[in-house]
Chains A and B, each alone.
Chain A
Amino acid sequence: MAEVSRFHVAKAVFVKDLRVEIRSRVLVNQILPFSALVMVLFAFALDATNVLTRVAPGLIWLAVLFSMIVIVQRGFAVESADGALEALQSAGVDALGVYWGKWAALVVQLVVLEVLLVATAVLLYGVDLRAEGVVLLVTTSISATCGLAAVGTIYGGLAAGVSGRETLLPLLVLPVASPVLIGATRAVEAALGTGGTAISEGWPWLGLLSVFAVAFGVGGSFAFGPLIED
Chain B
Amino acid sequence: MHPSPDATTDPVIDLEGLVVVLGGFPALAGADLRVERGEILLLAGPNGAGKTTLLRACAGMTRPVRGSGRVLGFDLLRERESIRAGVGLVGHRNGLYADLTVQENLRFWGAASGATSSEIEAAASAMAVDGRLATVPVGRLSAGQRRRTALAVLVVRRAALWLLDEPHTGLDAQGRDELDALLRRAAVSGATVVFASHEADRADQLATRSVRVVAGRVEAVDG
| Touching chains A and B, CB distance < 8 Å | yes
Q: B108 contacts A91, CB within 8 Å?
A: no
B86 beta carbon closer than 8 Å to chain A:
yes
Q: Which residues of A sit under 8 angstroms from B84, Cβ to Cβ?
A: 89-92
Bound form: Cα–Cα A97–B158 in Å? 20
Contact A91:B111 (CB < 8 A) given known A1-B157, A23-B137, A83-B95:
no
Bound form: Cα–Cα A24–B97 in Å? 11
Per-residue CB contact flags for chain A residues 7-26 toward chain B (1 = under 8 Å, else 0) read 01101110110011001100
B135 beta carbon closer than 8 Å to chain A:
no
Q: Which residues of B sit under 8 angstroms from A135, Cβ to Cβ?
A: none
Per-residue CB contact flags for chain B residues 85-106 toward chain A (1 = under 8 Å, else 0) read 1111101011111111000100
Per-residue CB contact flags for chain B residues 150-194 toward chain A (1 = under 8 Å, else 0) read 000100011100000000000000000000000000000000000
Bound form: Cα–Cα A19–B108 in Å? 10
Q: B85 contacts A1, CB within 8 Å?
A: yes
B77 beta carbon closer than 8 Å to chain A:
no
Q: B97 contacts A20, CB within 8 Å?
A: yes
The minimal Cβ–Cβ distance linking B155 to chain A, given in whole angstroms, is 12
B59 beta carbon closer than 8 Å to chain A:
yes
B115 beta carbon closer than 8 Å to chain A:
yes
Per-residue CB contact flags for chain A residues 77-99 toward chain B (1 = under 8 Å, else 0) read 01001111011111111000100
Q: Which residues of B sit under 8 angstroms from A1, Cβ to Cβ?
A: 85-86, 113-114, 157-159
Q: A16 contacts B100, CB within 8 Å?
A: yes
Specify which of B85, B91, B98 is in contact with A91 (CB 8 Å cutoff): B85
Specify which of B99, B153, B158, B159 is in contact with A23 (CB 8 Å cutoff): B99
Q: Which residues of A sit under 8 angstroms from B1, Cβ to Cβ?
A: none
Q: B108 contacts A16, CB within 8 Å?
A: yes
Contact A9:B100 (CB < 8 A) given known A82-B93, A90-B59:
no
Q: Which residues of B sit under 8 angstroms from A97, Cβ to Cβ?
A: 112
Bound form: Cα–Cα A20–B98 in Å? 9
Bound form: Cα–Cα A87–B163 in Å? 12
Name B86's closest neighbour in chain A (CB-CB). Answer: A1
Within 8 A of A (CB), among B62-90: 81-89
Name A94's closest neighbour in chain B (CB-CB). Answer: B112
Bound form: Cα–Cα A223–B119 in Å? 34
Q: A83 contacts B112, CB within 8 Å?
A: no
A3 beta carbon closer than 8 Å to chain B:
yes
Looking at B89, B99, B158, which has the most chain A CB atoms within 10 Å of its CB? B99
Q: Which residues of B sit under 8 angstroms from A82, Cβ to Cβ?
A: 93-98
The minimal Cβ–Cβ distance linking B127 to chain A, given in whole angstroms, is 16
Q: Which residues of B sit under 8 angstroms from A91, Cβ to Cβ?
A: 84-85, 88, 112-113, 157, 159
Name A4's closest neighbour in chain B (CB-CB). Answer: B114
Known: A3-B114, A83-B93, A84-B97. 19 other contacts (CB 8 A): A1-B114, A1-B159, A8-B111, A8-B112, A15-B108, A16-B108, A19-B100, A19-B104, A24-B99, A82-B94, A83-B91, A84-B95, A84-B96, A87-B89, A89-B61, A89-B84, A91-B84, A92-B81, A93-B113
A-B pairs with beta carbons under 8 Å apart, 28 shown: A2-B113, A4-B113, A8-B114, A12-B108, A12-B112, A15-B108, A15-B111, A16-B104, A19-B104, A20-B97, A20-B99, A23-B100, A23-B137, A82-B94, A82-B95, A83-B93, A83-B94, A83-B95, A84-B97, A87-B153, A90-B61, A90-B84, A91-B85, A91-B88, A91-B112, A91-B157, A92-B85, A97-B112
Complex A-B, nearest 9 residue pairs according to Cβ-Cβ distance, in ascending order: A87-B95, A92-B84, A2-B114, A12-B111, A83-B93, A92-B85, A4-B114, A23-B99, A16-B108
- Residues of chain B at the chain A interface (Cβ within 8 Å): 59-61, 81-89, 91, 93-100, 104, 108, 111-115, 137, 153, 157-159
- Residues of chain A at the chain B interface (Cβ within 8 Å): 1-4, 8-9, 11-13, 15-16, 19-20, 23-24, 78, 81-84, 86-93, 97
